[in-house]
Amino acid sequence: MVAEGGSAGGLLMGAITNLAPDRFAGILAAVPFVDALTSILDPDLPLTVIEWDEWGDPLHDPEVYDYMATYTPYENVADDASAYPKILAVTSLNDTRVLYVEPAKWVARLRDAGAPVRLKIEMQAGHGGVSGRYESWRERAFEIAWILEVLRLSDAENAETTAAPAPVES
């Protein structure tokens, strides 16, 4: 099974990766909010202060800080993450909601801990990904190809199973 989520759903992807790495073959995290604690501690970021109503204010409330630290993906990467599922983190350079540094920092920590992880940074995209129908389709095709590879359903990995079936003798 491959789990997929983006933005705050990307935070969920990071959390389930840390909590139950053996339950998934792969994790696709799109513009993942995986360094939430660091970001929400910075009131100069565009969404931080307005998000305090929903998330709490870890900058001024130690209880909120301690609680967030229990589940935020970046802070909870295992020291040995070699048993983690394959991870694809996709982010965008021009995202003002989840800055590209969050998944980049998370991926660096995952790699240091031995996790099998790939990072793709879209250079012309924002929080919603690339614009344009064909570019969007191309991006989704890349993600689906990765999922098929992880699930070992790609043509390259199953050449003998994708060949034409033998004729049936009557």
Backbone angles phi, psi at 12, to 5 degrees: -60, -40
User: Active site residue: 7, 57, 136, 154, which one?
Assistant: 7
* Residue from 157, 21, 150 nearest 80 by CA: 21
Separation between Cα atoms, residue 44 and residue 84, nearest integer Å = 34
Q: What is the pLDDT of residue 39?
A: 87
Number of helices (H), then strands (E), belonging to the chain: the values are 7, 4
Domain 2-35+72-162 has CATH 3.40.50.1820: yes
Which helix (H) or strand (E) segment holds residue 86: the answer is strand 86-92
- The pTM score is 0.83
User: Active site residue: 35, 61, 95, 131, which one?
Assistant: 95
125: left (phi over 0), alpha (psi -120 to 50) or beta: beta
Q: What is the DSSP letter of 75?
A: G
pLDDT digits (tens, 9 = 90+) for 96-150: 777 788 999 999 999 999 999 999 988 677 676 666 677 888 889 999 999 999 9
pLDDT over 70 at 91, yes or no: yes
Separation between Cα atoms, residue 65 and residue 71, nearest integer Å = 11
User: Active site residue: 57, 127, 136, 154, which one?
Assistant: 127
Let me know if 7 is a catalytic residue.
yes
Long-range contacts of 62-71 (CB under 8 A, 24+ apart): 65/37, 65/41, 68/36, 68/37, 68/40, 69/37, 71/15
pLDDT digits (tens, 9 = 90+) for 53-80: 888 999 999 999 999 999 999 999 999 9
Separation between Cα atoms, residue 140 and residue 170, nearest integer Å = 43
Let me know if 39 is a catalytic residue.
no
pLDDT digits (tens, 9 = 90+) for 108-122: 999 999 999 999 988
pLDDT digits (tens, 9 = 90+) for 26-46: 999 999 999 989 888 888 887
Q: What is the mean pLDDT of residues 87-93?
A: 91
Instruction: Give the three-state DSSP class for 99.
Output: coil
